[in-house]
Amino acid sequence: MVAKRKQKQRIILPPELPPEVSEDEIEVSDEDRDFVDQNREYAGFLSTLDTQSITKHVTRVADVKEDALEALYEKRLKRKSLHKEKEDPGVQVDRVDALPVKTLDGQLYYRTATKASKASENDPTEEEASGAADKSIVKLTKAERRAKLKKSKKEAKKQGKEAEPEVEQTPQEAVLAEVKEDLTTEEAFESKKNKLAELGIALLADPASNIKSLKEILQICKDNNHAIVKLGLLSLLAVFKDLIPGYRIRLPTEKELEMKVSKDVKKMRLYESTLLSVYKAYLQKLAALEKQSSFQHVAFRCICTLLDAAPHFNYRESLLGVVIRNIGSPDDVVRKLCCSSIKSLFTNEGKHGGEATVEAVRLIADHVKAHNCQLHPDSVEVFLSLSFDEDLGRAARNDEKHKPQSKKSKKKKHYEEARQLKENDKKRSRQELLTKTREEVAADYKAVALAPDVMERRGMQTEALSAVFETYFRILKHTMQSSASRSEANASLSTGASEPHPLLAPCLKGLGKFSHLIDMDFMGDLINYLKKLASGGSDSENTSKCLTVSERLRCCIVAFKVMKSNLDALNVDLQDFFVQLYNIILEYRPGRDQGEVLAEALKIMLCEDRQHDMQKAAAFVKRLATFSLCSGSAESMAALVTLKHLLLKNVKCRNLLENDAGGGSVSGSVAVSSHANICFMIFNELEPAASLHF
């Protein structure tokens, strides 16, 4: 049994020893030598090693004869040779002499060369050449071999950096690569969209913990894809509308940062500083993108929405500057967005306490001045959304009257108190304490009170109103100067009407609305300006062409509104405005001019006039009767209703209705009486129309 087990045991040959290298070919670096010299005590055993006994011990095989061992070694060599021939039919190039090639799968392989034919192997010329080459080789020293090896390594590194092996792609591979790129771009777009949604939801769910996600969303806004940038801007807009607090953030000073505070205070400071820094970077990004056509509408939508939602927050000045700079933009979308945000700012003063209104009005005034009154009418029409206290001027005058009285009373009180304090020191100290406590309580109450201070509100409204009237008077002055220069230029040329003034119509509307707030010192100058614009001065034939019929009618309307609101303080003759209205009625053209302006002028100047002048009424009866026969239905209705009011107020003018050949005391021709008869026939039909028209 033991013999059978020994026969069945497999004989395992020892591994092959590494090839022997001569001492001349061994390269030892200087670092290795220094290490051995420093550690000779530990490396001394290397000199006494017996290599021959070690190799015998490694290569020996127990209980095997020498003939069997030789046969086993021969079999192993044959197997290796057969295996190499099957796997690698070519001759592999040395890895030191050639660089590897990387396939599309990411694998490295070394190039191989085919075996030379037997003819080439037996060619004597090649053998002679190889022999000559071998003879020409000179044996190098160790130093030269080291330098050569370093040089070869450097060259290999340079070649690897400069050029990589190019692999030619087939058409199918190119198409597949394009499809992969398209798929990757779509996947990247969807992944970024999902990431924006996740970050936004996390911020809205827990802003304090996820406040740093704002920086990630802002980083996504710098993407090359325009759609991703727009989504990122709108996402930040929604987040900021929800996160912005109801107060302005004040960053801590250096001294406050050095103080020890609780964890909650540190967390709040980090939250506020991060929110403010990202908000500032977001506004800078919007200001840069609003100049690009592809992002203009999105950028202005975000800017106007932020100004409407948070006018009290930090960096309001930058938002107002961008909006007012584009309030007269030729782009309708941008202009409407800017105008709507400014109107919302004027109507919702509770959000900012009136400070933003004053800033916006002042910026608009500067903007009109910089552009020499050549802007879109919407840029000044936003002033009509302003609201002022009715007793603003009256309250200011009352304050001026009461101020000196309060100073005198205070001086008297201080004088009396000083006399009493000299007599009694205890009362003095007690009185000082009482005054200090009262002042502190008043200051605390003012700081905590939700309602704005009356004096501060009055001061802000006064400043805004002065800026508004400054803009209106600048527009009137510019119109006067331009009309005078154009009338001189048109005096020698019989050309048509000149270019209209874009800001005059909204300016006149605003003057009519805020006429009761105009200072009495400027009232006379305003009436003179309006009279010149409506009449055209001495040379009315040329100057009247500079303004349209509607603009001249508005000048008359504003003059009468100013007089009506300040009737007790002013005593001005308005006869020139009646003359201009009498002349303008026949210049009116239904398709060219505005009918509602004519109807308003007739109502204010003729129907609501308190003066009863029979000659003036008779002249307008004749003119309105003539106008009603040669104009449209709407204009004729307005003229006839006005004519009815004139005849009802001026009874003597009814003589114009007589149809005899000689006429009455006022009428002088049959044509006038026929016109008046037409008016008399439709009196009863105009009762319901009168209420509708006015």
Q: Are residues 282 and 250 in the same domain?
A: yes
Distance CA 226, CA 222 (A): 9
CA 70, 72, 77, 81 dihedral sign is positive
Which range marks the domain in which residue 639 is found? 622-660+674-693
Q: Is residue 451's pLDDT more than 60?
A: no
> Two tokens at 558?
């504003």
Average pLDDT estimate for 502-513 = 90
DSSP for 157-175, please give it.
HHHHHH-----PPPHHHHH
Average pLDDT estimate for 669-691 = 44
In the chain, how many domains are there? 4
CB 472 within 8 A of CB 365: no
pLDDT per residue over 203-244, tens digit each?
989 888 888 899 999 998 888 889 999 999 999 999 999 999
Q: Are residues 393 and 474 in the same domain?
A: yes
Share of the chain above pLDDT 70, in %: 66
The reported pLDDT for the residue numbered 616 is 85
Helix (H, G, I), strand (E, B) or coil at 112: strand
Distance CA 61, CA 66 (A): 9
In a domain, 682, yes or no: yes
In a domain, 458, yes or no: yes
Distance CA 314, CA 276 (A): 8
- Rounded to two decimals, the pTM is 0.63
Q: Are residues 382 and 524 in the same domain?
A: no
Q: Are residues 467 and 523 in the same domain?
A: no
Q: 75-79, 108-112, 347-351: which range is least confident on average?
A: 108-112
Q: Which residue has the higher pLDDT, 98 or 281?
A: 281
In a domain, 329, yes or no: no
Q: Is residue 120's pLDDT more than 60?
A: no
In a domain, 134, yes or no: no
pLDDT per residue over 596-642, tens digit each?
888 888 888 888 877 767 888 888 888 888 888 888 888 888 888 88
Q: Are residues 301 and 364 in the same domain?
A: no
In a domain, 551, yes or no: yes
Compute φ and ψ for 342, nearest 5 degrees: -70, -40
* Local confidence band at 694 (pLDDT 50, 70, 90 cut-offs): very low
CB 543 within 8 A of CB 488: no
Beta bridge partners of 226: none
Q: Are residues 361 and 510 in the same domain?
A: yes
Q: Who contacts 290 (Cβ-Cβ below 8 Å, separation ≥6)?
A: 296, 299, 300, 303, 322, 326
Query: Chain-wide mean pLDDT for the chain?
Result: 75
The reported pLDDT for the residue numbered 139 is 55
Beta bridge partners of 112: 92
Q: Is residue 678's pLDDT more than 60?
A: no
CB 680 within 8 A of CB 646: no
Q: Are residues 213 and 361 in the same domain?
A: no
Q: Are residues 284 and 225 in the same domain?
A: yes
pLDDT per residue over 463-482, tens digit each?
999 999 999 999 998 888 87
| Burial degree of 276 (CB within 10 A; 0-12, 13-18, 19+) | middle
Q: Are residues 255 and 374 in the same domain?
A: no
Q: Are residues 229 and 300 in the same domain?
A: yes
Alpha helix (H) residue ranges in 137-262 = 142-162, 171-205, 213-220, 226-243, 254-258
The reported pLDDT for the residue numbered 283 is 93
Helix (H, G, I), strand (E, B) or coil at 121: helix
> Two tokens at 500?
């209209």
Q: Are residues 539 and 590 in the same domain?
A: yes
Q: Are residues 374 and 468 in the same domain?
A: yes
